[in-house]
Amino acid sequence: MATISPADQNLDQRLHMVNGQLRTGDVFDQEVLAAFLAMPREQFVAASNVPLAYLDRETPALGARTRRLLRPLTLARLLQAATVKAGDRALDVGGGSGYGAALLDFMGAKVVAIESDPGAVTAARELLAGRERVTVIEGPLEGGAAHLGPFDVIVVEGAFRIQPDGLLGQLAEGGRLVGIDAIMGAPQGALYERRGAGVSRRALFEAFADTLDGFQPAASFAF
């Protein structure tokens, strides 16, 4: 009986993820599907969660204290909505150990990945080392990376419960921001686009994700 190497087993799992989760979840962009098929998600999750790497669930990121990677389907639908093109300048916000940044790099974007979890930053720098188009920085997520912008694409890898004005201000003309909008009502994937001085918003799909630090409403006190 022929044996299957671990690498081949992981490829088979990625193929099942692409065909069984992404394609059936209305992800049809061939560049997005190719990126998810090529990228070994198991390398970016916490060691104890490697067997769960290809389930459609949020998964603790390698090295992180609290950061979890988005569900594969949620991330894929956000990337599809962002219409990432080769050469785009992309900002990946709160992506943990760098899985989303690696996908954006595969799709040809020049990526700045900003993360506030120190352990996740360390893991991302190690995992993304050698990717010349990717820069990993540590800092407050809501502040983005204005000194490295503006950006054609901003991917917020989590929910925001307040308007991400600091990030929207870093969009280039025609730039797109995607993330999980939990400002009012049920959380949903949303697409923001800059046209001139204005920014439009379009709801995409219902979704759930952890609220990222820096994007919670200020605490209020009742007397």
DSSP string, 17-67: HIIIIIGGGT---HHHHHHHHHS-GGGTB-GGGGGGTTSSS-EEBTT-SS-
Residues 31-55: what's their mean pLDDT? 96
- Does residue 120 belong to any structural domain of this protein? yes
Please give the residue range of the domain that contains residue 129. 58-70+77-206
- Does residue 223 belong to any structural domain of this protein? no
- Does residue 221 belong to any structural domain of this protein? no
- pLDDT, tens digit, 9 for 90 and up, residues 132-189: 999 999 999 999 999 999 999 999 999 999 999 999 999 999 999 999 999 998 999 9
Helix (H/G/I), strand (E/B), else coil: 110 = strand
- Does residue 81 belong to any structural domain of this protein? yes
Residues 193-220: what's their mean pLDDT? 91
- Does residue 90 belong to any structural domain of this protein? yes
The pLDDT of residue 114 is above 90: yes
- Does residue 44 belong to any structural domain of this protein? no
pLDDT at 4: 34
The pLDDT of residue 1 is above 80: no
pLDDT at 146: 96
pLDDT at 2: 33
- Does residue 18 belong to any structural domain of this protein? no
CATH of the domain at 168: 3.40.50.150
Q: How confident is the model at residue 5 (pLDDT cuts 50, 70, 90)?
A: very low
Query: Which strand ranges, in their side-by-side order, compose the sheet holding 134-138?
Result: 134-138, 110-115, 89-93, 151-160, 171-181, 188-195, 198-206
- Does residue 168 belong to any structural domain of this protein? yes
Q: What is the mean pLDDT of the chain?
A: 93
The model's pTM is 0.93
The pLDDT of residue 25 is above 70: yes
Nearest to 70 by CA among 91, 38, 93: 93
- pLDDT, tens digit, 9 for 90 and up, residues 8-23: 568 999 999 999 999 9
pLDDT at 218: 79
Residues 20-45: what's their mean pLDDT? 97
pLDDT at 9: 67
Q: How many domains is the chain partitioned into structurally?
A: 1
The pLDDT of residue 214 is above 80: yes
